[in-house]
Chains A and B, each alone.
Chain A
Amino acid sequence: MSDTTSTGNLEEEQQTTSRFLTFTSDNLVFGVSTDNVIEIITNYMIRPLPMVPDYIRGIINLRGQIIPVMDMRLKLGKPFMEYTASTCIIILEIDSLHIGIAVDSVLQVQNINTALASPIPIENRQELTNLMLSLEDGTVVLLLDCEAVIRGSL
């Protein structure tokens, strides 16, 4: 990213920079705003539900609250990978709805300047993500569109 920022730009940059949690699923790096992240859990028993799409793995009991779990890989149309002890479930809160997403691994929390992100150029792409950007080290992060996650199938 360019380093030519004047003080005015610095302020603007701070306004559009927010914290994101990055995670991987099928070797793609995604980012979700930490405003939506409640917690990250591992090793939870998921109770499968009948009659739901395959990407809904089931429900879990989180301290008394019933939360549905969605598999990122299946939702993205990727092949399913069996859950191991290190598979993480990120519990999100979107519009006061709670949902967990099962991902391959969780990376870190970092500041991302959304002003530098651009819409994904491909038509008919996966609707779950709406923006993408490159980080300083070259990794490409796809930003998750939370609203799309809870929209569910029609």
Chain B
Amino acid sequence: MDNTTDSLLETFLFETNSLLEQLDERLINAEKAGSFTEDDVNEIFRSMHTIKGSSAMLEYQSLTEVAHHIEDLFFYIRENGMDTLDEEQKSELFDLMFKSMDRLGEDITRVENNQPLDADITDFTNEINSFLKRIQKKDADSSPSALSKAASPDVSPSKMDAPYLLRVFFEPDCGMENLRSFMLVTALEDKDLTFQFFPEDVETNSSTVGTIAENGFLLGFSSEKDAQSAIRVLKSTSNIHTYELISNQSNMQEEAGIPETAVPGKTNHTPPAGSTLLAGGSAPASHTKQSLISVNLSKLDKLMAVVGEIVITESMVIASPDLQNVKLDNFLKSARQLRKLTDDLQDIAMSLRIVPVSSVFQKMNRIVRDMKKTLNKDVRLTIIGEDTEVDKTIVDSISDPIMHIVRNSMDHGIEDTVEERLEAGKEAQAEIILSAKHTGSEVIISVEDDGKGMDTDAILAKASRNGLLTKPVEEYSKKEILSLLMLPGFSTNSEVTEFSGRGVGLDVVRKNVEAIGGVVSITSEEGKGSKTTLKLPLTLAIVDGMEISIGGNIFTIPIANIRQSFKATNEDIILDASGHEIIKCMDEFFPIVRIRDLFHMEEGFTDIDDGIMMWVEASDKSYCIFVDQLIGEQQVVVKPFPPYLNNFNIKHSGISGCTVLGDGNISIILDIGSIYTAAQEIF
């Protein structure tokens, strides 16, 4: 039983969380537009219905009631539209809706953490009820009754004129018969059945529990076919004790009683929730049937690991020393085919885990909205590239960091008053730009604000006060000063606000980002604004690389970065005024970077005549690298460096990861972009 409860719970949490997320998005968009579309209204209702039903099934009483009251609130809107409300009431309504969603979200979190739910919802209920009272012209304080589509006006058992009646009894001690009856009603409605039922007010009136326990729950159908469909639903419903089909026309009584043990009612609720999930977003009211399946992430992890090993092993087979110098035409042909298949396998496996970052970005809308009100600042959030797709684990890990950064921007970055902005020649409304884009092997996510920028002197002073400086103040470059912000225990805020200032934001951000193999950097200009950039790798990227060797050590350069390789002579080298080496290639001049010198290696060619020149490019940097030998093309599985090595800042010195070669040796992957930067700093 425990197993089924656990998976039930898991499904419940997954569904409810997804629903709440979607609702949040809808609310934000609706608030921007100023009112709810019919689609919004239906969606909100459906979602609340589902949440209420699922919560009732798992016996989370307070959750059920909270969802119910939200429905009440919304019912009024649905019936009467938004036009009867004035501006203040509208804004209050939205606030109340958001607050209610948050309340639900908090309760769900409690359930997730196995904590007891707060059974006291009287405050919450009162808030909603009093709001409702205020916006209603007449003094109605009772929750609206007929919320179900198939409801018809008061029908007492004797007046039910349906030809076929179904009387349902629930198990004696199951409790909450009223809500169970209501769930049954919902389930039947989802099958598009029209019927009557008694008692009518099962959803809202808990005294019907007694009526149902004594007389059973009555359902009236107009055809036997409908009744039979209903019986099928009943068979898969939990806690049904007995049911009898009563044919009103004839006096025959067919009794069919099937005592059921608590069969998980999962099937009952996953269809409505599932179809709501699928239809969420832009779909119209009809549920489009997409075939989706939710898979445990750990299974995908295992799949990726195995696929990665297959790529390596395939290389080992093809490069096997046993096969050297043997003429093997058929073998090579099959090997090529194998290669093609493993390529496809890789692509598909990778694509399984890739999701767009929009889910994280949309959440930021909510944060900006809430902070706008609390901080009283006018800010708009612009989102660029939210369709950029990234591995799911990355999406999960960047959610908190991005939240911190956006909060920081809003709290510290944006000026406190509009006058300050106007004086600086900026628009009154501040802007925060959240963008994501791919560059070959990385994803770059940035948060940019046009606020007041960062005061480097204040930062140095604060760092000094907290004993965080490791060298004299004058020796800090601007970049280094801004990185001080990410040290633990740092904060330029003199007081702790609700959102930031505790000094735990940015260092946690950096830790989280580095844990997934990424890099955080901050740039800022006083008076103009600040920008925080996250560079993230595409995890388990399988990269097409060129193996090269320098001083006996093997390195890999991503093929995407290579433009050309050529042999050069000493005479081709030109020196500039400061003695830096330059070479001409394709009618243009490029600086030369000698990897051996950059990495302080003990061995490697020094004579240009001996080695190979490679023209490489990364985003806007174009230059030539001098290496000893080209070994060959190799598809490699990127492995990030162990986190311990982050202490030494190796990412900034030009190496982005490593890979295991077919023979078990390790090859280091060069990051063409940061090599150039590192070289600049040295020369």
- Interface of A toward B, CB cutoff 8 Å: 45, 47-53, 56, 59-61, 64, 66-68, 97-99, 150-154
B648 part of interface (Cβ distance < 8 Å): yes
Q: Cα distance A68–B664 when bound, in Å?
A: 16
CB distance from A67 to the nearest CB of B (A): 6
A66 adjacent to B599 (CB under 8 Å): no
The interface stretch among B52-60, B140-148, B638-646 is: B638-646
User: Among the listed B309, B642, B666, which residue makes an inter-chain contact with A98, where contact means beta carbons less than 8 Å apart?
Assistant: B642
Closest 7 CB pairs of A and B: A152-B647, A50-B599, A51-B653, A47-B666, A52-B648, A61-B660, A97-B644
* Chain B residue at minimum C-beta to C-beta distance from A152: B647
Q: Cα distance A99–B309 when bound, in Å?
A: 23
B565 part of interface (Cβ distance < 8 Å): no
CB distance from B74 to the nearest CB of A (A): 47
User: Among the listed B470, B598, B665, B668, which residue makes an inter-chain contact with A49, where contact means beta carbons less than 8 Å apart?
Assistant: B668
25 CB-based A-B contacts, threshold 8 Å: A47-B553, A47-B665, A47-B666, A47-B667, A49-B650, A49-B655, A50-B598, A50-B600, A50-B650, A50-B653, A50-B654, A51-B650, A51-B655, A59-B642, A59-B645, A60-B666, A61-B664, A64-B660, A66-B639, A66-B642, A66-B660, A68-B641, A68-B644, A97-B644, A152-B647
If A50-B655, A52-B650 touch, whether A68 touches B666 (CB-CB below 8 Å) is: no
Best-buried of B601, B644, B648, B650 by chain A (most CB within 10 Å) = B644
Q: Cα distance A47–B659 when bound, in Å?
A: 11
B660 adjacent to A53 (CB under 8 Å): no
- The A interface, classified by DSSP as helix, strand, loop or mixed, is mixed
If A68-B642, A97-B643 touch, whether A45 touches B648 (CB-CB below 8 Å) is: no
* Chain B residue at minimum C-beta to C-beta distance from A97: B644
List residues of chain B with CB within 8 A of the CB of A48: 553
* Chain B residue at minimum C-beta to C-beta distance from A56: B648
Q: Cα distance A98–B650 when bound, in Å?
A: 17
B666 adjacent to A99 (CB under 8 Å): no
Q: Cα distance A106–B363 when bound, in Å?
A: 54
| In the complex, per-residue mask of B640-683: 1 if CB is within 8 Å of any chain A CB, else 0 | 01111101101001110010100011111000000000000000
Interface residues of B in 548-604 (CB under 8 A from A): 553, 598-601
* Chain A residue at minimum C-beta to C-beta distance from B487: A154
List residues of chain B with CB within 8 A of the CB of A66: 639, 641-642, 658, 660, 666
Interface residues of B in 251-291 (CB under 8 A from A): none
List residues of chain B with CB within 8 A of the CB of A150: 644
List residues of chain A with CB within 8 A of the CB of B653: 50-51
* Chain A residue at minimum C-beta to C-beta distance from B555: A50
* Chain A residue at minimum C-beta to C-beta distance from B601: A50
CB distance from A121 to the nearest CB of B (A): 27
List residues of chain B with CB within 8 A of the CB of A153: 647-648
B645 adjacent to A68 (CB under 8 Å): yes
List residues of chain B with CB within 8 A of the CB of A51: 599-600, 648, 650, 653-655
A64 adjacent to B309 (CB under 8 Å): yes
List residues of chain B with CB within 8 A of the CB of A152: 644, 647-648
* Chain B residue at minimum C-beta to C-beta distance from A58: B666
List residues of chain A with CB within 8 A of the CB of B470: 154
| In the complex, per-residue mask of B371-405: 1 if CB is within 8 Å of any chain A CB, else 0 | 00000000000000000000000000000000000
* Chain B residue at minimum C-beta to C-beta distance from A50: B599
List residues of chain B with CB within 8 A of the CB of A98: 642, 644
Best-buried of B598, B600, B601, B660 by chain A (most CB within 10 Å) = B660
List residues of chain A with CB within 8 A of the CB of B654: 50-51
List residues of chain B with CB within 8 A of the CB of A97: 642-644
Other than the given A49-B645, A51-B654, 4 more pairs (CB < 8 A) read A45-B664, A45-B666, A50-B655, A61-B664
A53 adjacent to B644 (CB under 8 Å): no
Q: Cα distance A49–B650 when bound, in Å?
A: 9
CB distance from B243 to the nearest CB of A (A): 56
List residues of chain B with CB within 8 A of the CB of A67: 642
User: Among the listed A53, A61, A64, A99, which residue makes an inter-chain contact with B648, where contact means beta carbons less than 8 Å apart?
Assistant: A53
Q: Cα distance A60–B645 when bound, in Å?
A: 13
If A49-B655, A50-B601 touch, whether A61 touches B644 (CB-CB below 8 Å) is: no
Q: Cα distance A153–B644 when bound, in Å?
A: 11
Q: Cα distance A151–B643 when bound, in Å?
A: 12
List residues of chain A with CB within 8 A of the CB of B644: 68, 97-99, 150, 152
* Chain A residue at minimum C-beta to C-beta distance from B666: A47
List residues of chain B with CB within 8 A of the CB of A61: 660, 664-666
List residues of chain A with CB within 8 A of the CB of B553: 47-48
* Chain A residue at minimum C-beta to C-beta distance from B660: A61
Q: Cα distance A54–B217 when bound, in Å?
A: 80
B598 adjacent to A59 (CB under 8 Å): no
Q: Cα distance A102–B667 when bound, in Å?
A: 21
List residues of chain B with CB within 8 A of the CB of A64: 309, 660
* Chain B residue at minimum C-beta to C-beta distance from A52: B648
List residues of chain A with CB within 8 A of the CB of B665: 45, 47, 61
List residues of chain A with CB within 8 A of the CB of B658: 47, 59, 66
Best-buried of B643, B645, B658 by chain A (most CB within 10 Å) = B645
Best-buried of B553, B639, B664, B666 by chain A (most CB within 10 Å) = B666
List residues of chain A with CB within 8 A of the CB of B639: 66
* Chain B residue at minimum C-beta to C-beta distance from A99: B644
* Chain A residue at minimum C-beta to C-beta distance from B598: A50
List residues of chain A with CB within 8 A of the CB of B666: 45, 47, 59-61, 66
Best-buried of A49, A64, A150, A154 by chain B (most CB within 10 Å) = A49
CB distance from B435 to the nearest CB of A (A): 31
CB distance from A64 to the nearest CB of B (A): 7
List residues of chain B with CB within 8 A of the CB of A53: 648
* Chain A residue at minimum C-beta to C-beta distance from B468: A154
Q: Cα distance A153–B666 when bound, in Å?
A: 25
List residues of chain A with CB within 8 A of the CB of B643: 97
| In the complex, per-residue mask of B11-26: 1 if CB is within 8 Å of any chain A CB, else 0 | 0000000000000000
List residues of chain A with CB within 8 A of the CB of B601: 50
List residues of chain B with CB within 8 A of the CB of A60: 666
Q: Cα distance A124–B650 when bound, in Å?
A: 29
List residues of chain B with CB within 8 A of the CB of A47: 553, 658, 665-668
Q: Cα distance A48–B645 when bound, in Å?
A: 13
Q: Cα distance A50–B598 when bound, in Å?
A: 9
Q: Cα distance A49–B660 when bound, in Å?
A: 14
Q: Cα distance A152–B645 when bound, in Å?
A: 8
Q: Cα distance A4–B582 when bound, in Å?
A: 79
List residues of chain A with CB within 8 A of the CB of B655: 49-51
Q: Cα distance A45–B598 when bound, in Å?
A: 23
Q: Cα distance A100–B654 when bound, in Å?
A: 24
Q: Cα distance A99–B648 when bound, in Å?
A: 14
* Chain A residue at minimum C-beta to C-beta distance from B655: A50
CB distance from A100 to the nearest CB of B (A): 10
